[in-house]
Amino acid sequence: MTRRERSLFWALLLAAVTFGLYVLRDVLVPFVAGMAVAYLLDPVVDRLERLRIGRGLATFAVLFGFFAVAIGLVLLLIPLLQTQVERLAAVLPGYVELVRDRLGPLLAHFDEDIDRQAALQKITGMTGDLVSWVGNVIGRVIQGGFAIANILSLLLITPIVSFYLLRDWDRMVATVDSWLPREQAGTVRAQIGEVDRTLSAFVRGQGTVCLMLGVFYAAGLTLAGLDFGLVIGLFSGLISFVPFVGALLGGLLSVGLALAQFDSWQPILAVAAVFAAGQVIEGNFLTPNLVGDAVGLHPVWVIFGLLAGGTLFGFVGVLLAVPTAAVVGVMARFALAQYLASPLHLHGIPPADDADSQDDRAGRD
């Protein structure tokens, strides 16, 4: 098989996989989620296996503990979250009016010639457009693969898929390894190892960072006396895997609600200080120690991957965005390294005349 035929084969295979994901995106949610859980928990099962515990028993014990903790947290938080969300939906229009009333005097200090009513309407319109855009994005994600039927399948099928994948993980890896082209097997293994290292650092490390930030923000905002601090804090922490978005969106929302809720500046400054402290803790302690500098995923690339995956494939695309971004990033770095070490970069392309003369001399010799 020539190089061109191999390239065509891999291109057609990639196109077929992408088309299959697009067509089956509505039914893939529990399977992708189960694969993510299996990948996340495989190191724990491997450690238990080294303690001479059978793979099947270790898989059952780890998955039982994982889902028990997850379901317990959900059952504990859902009543609190539901109450706060319902209250937030009820009082949000009044908070918007309060913010508008308080922005009026502030605008008067900048320029007396400003049409304050028009400026307030413009600000309100921009805010409404932003909320509408976020709602549309969430709606597309939900319609693309997270409907009620998919939620039920996620709850029922994901544990089963996770169990079988996790139990047979090492066997599946060995089988896929046997399919690799023998000449390129070493190179492919090295790149897969780099992808695994990148994903491990990002998923496990960043997931821990998001969880700790969510707890910190929720506790801090609640202690500061902010209404709906639990919802906003957890939401801000959990979306912190999108670089800068969690702190920015949560900070703006929290400070805006604080402006509407409090009459003095001290509680407002306390709310702002919670997010400032969270950023200091994240940047100086959590991320360096839990994620490290070896992730190799640029924040802009992560944001693009999440938005593109959610738009094209719905919730399945969101789940696959970071792994896909890691694979593409590793492949791009490998291709760049190959180019930098190649004669094309080191010597350039010889002029046509020189190339012809070299061919002529080679023919005469």
Most confident of 72-86, 150-164, 345-359: 150-164
pLDDT digits (tens, 9 = 90+) for 183-224: 888 888 988 888 888 888 778 788 888 889 999 999 999 898
Supply the pLDDT for residue 65: 94
Instruction: Report the domain count for the chain.
Output: 1
Supply the pLDDT for residue 325: 82
pLDDT digits (tens, 9 = 90+) for 15-46: 998 888 888 877 788 888 889 899 989 999 99
Residue 150 pLDDT more than 80? no
362 within a domain of the structure (yes/no): no
Q: Give 319's pLDDT tier (boundaries 50, 70, 90).
A: confident
21 within a domain of the structure (yes/no): no
CB 324 within 8 A of CB 352: no
9 within a domain of the structure (yes/no): no
4 within a domain of the structure (yes/no): no
Residue 80 structural domain: 27-177
298 within a domain of the structure (yes/no): no
210 within a domain of the structure (yes/no): no
Supply the pLDDT for residue 142: 47
294 within a domain of the structure (yes/no): no
100 within a domain of the structure (yes/no): yes
Neighbours of 93 (CB within 10 A): 9
